[in-house]
């Protein structure tokens, strides 16, 4: 038994295949599937596409986030 899900990545469609071993708990297989699906970034992409964000606003947010992360790293190294 396998769990399948199609995702589009980089302009081509890929298939997530999670082989389920005999006697393996289905909850464990679903957990593996969810982890693999999260790594594809599909849900983040869908949520981002729900509302258009101007490139200037996205760039500003990225700079603010980078400054915040840098501040955390500097505080950690003190």
pLDDT in tens, 12-54: 667 888 888 888 898 999 999 999 989 888 888 889 899 999 9
Assess if residue 16 is contained within a domain: yes
Assess if residue 63 is contained within a domain: no
> Does residue 57 surpass a pLDDT of 90?
yes
DSSP state for residue 51 in the 8-state scheme: S
Structural domain boundaries enclosing 23: 1-40
**What total number of domains does the chain contain?**
1
End-to-end CA distance of the chain: 52
Distance of CA 57 to the CA centre of its chain: 22
User: What pTM value is reported for the model?
Assistant: 0.54
Q: Identify the pLDDT of residue 10.
A: 60
Assess if residue 15 is contained within a domain: yes
Q: Burial level of 36, CB count in 10 A (0-12/13-18/19+)?
A: middle
């Amino acid at each position: 038994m396998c769990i399948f899900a199609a995702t589009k990545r980089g302009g081509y469609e890929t298939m997530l295949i999670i082989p389920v071993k005999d006697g393996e708990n289905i909850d464990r297989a679903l957990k593996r599937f969810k982890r693999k699906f999260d790594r594809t970034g599909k849900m983040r992409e869908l949520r981002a596409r729900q509302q258009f964000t101007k490139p200037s606003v996205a760039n500003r947010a990225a700079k603010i986030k980078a400054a915040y992360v840098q501040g955390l790293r500097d505080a950690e190294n003190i």
